């Protein structure tokens, strides 16, 4: 591979980001109607550029929540790969945009785990 070309990074989050639980600020009283939950959807997910001086494959797992504003808030690294790659994953997911989760058609906050894979180009 020619020197200086970026090494590929891809995110499994497109296919495997899963909602663990959704929360709402509404009353905790049980509803008489059946509630319909819809998970958040990724609309825009720019990926980090893998630094060409790193030689590490693997994934960083992040936990946070998608707010009603469609942004990923309070990202926490729950599985680290490398401090530099962890920071790149957090920075990248901070630029992501989501269609918020909804409960009965009303946007709600939803916790989410995202796994971002870093892979050296062949």
Average pLDDT, the chain: 77
Res 30: pLDDT: 54
> In this predicted model, what pLDDT tens digit does every residue of 44-103 receive, in sequence order?
998 888 887 888 888 899 999 999 999 999 999 999 999 999 999 999 999 999 999 999
Res 6: pLDDT: 37
pTM of the model: 0.73
Q: What is the mean pLDDT of residues 10-22?
A: 39
Question: Structurally, what CATH architecture does the domain formed by 39-46+58-122 represent?
Answer: 2-Layer Sandwich (3.30)
pLDDT exceeds 60 at position 19: no
The strand pairing partners of 56, in sequence order, are none
pLDDT exceeds 90 at position 13: no
pLDDT band at 117, cuts 50/70/90?
Answer: confident
Which among 74, 43, 40, 75 is positioned nearest to 61, based on CA atoms? Answer: 75
pLDDT exceeds 50 at position 9: no
pLDDT exceeds 50 at position 109: yes
Considering Cα of 47, then 15, then 82, then 52, what sign does the dihedral take? negative
109 CB-side CA count, 13 A: 11
Least confident stretch, 13-22, 30-39, 84-93? 13-22
């Amino acid at each position: 591979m020619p020197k200086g070309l970026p090494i590929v990074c891809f995110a499994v989050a497109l296919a495997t980001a899963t909602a663990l639980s959704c929360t709402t600020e509404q009353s905790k009283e049980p509803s008489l109607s059946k509630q319909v939950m819809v998970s958040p959807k990724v609309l825009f997910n720019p990926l980090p550029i893998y630094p060409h001086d790193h030689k590490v494959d693997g994934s960083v797992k992040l936990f946070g929540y998608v707010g009603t504003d469609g942004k990923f808030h309070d990202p926490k690294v729950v599985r680290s790969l490398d401090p530099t790659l962890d920071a790149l994953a957090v920075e990248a997911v901070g630029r992501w945009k989501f269609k918020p989760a909804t409960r009965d058609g009303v946007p709600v906050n939803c916790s989410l785990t995202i796994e971002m894979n870093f892979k050296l180009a062949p």
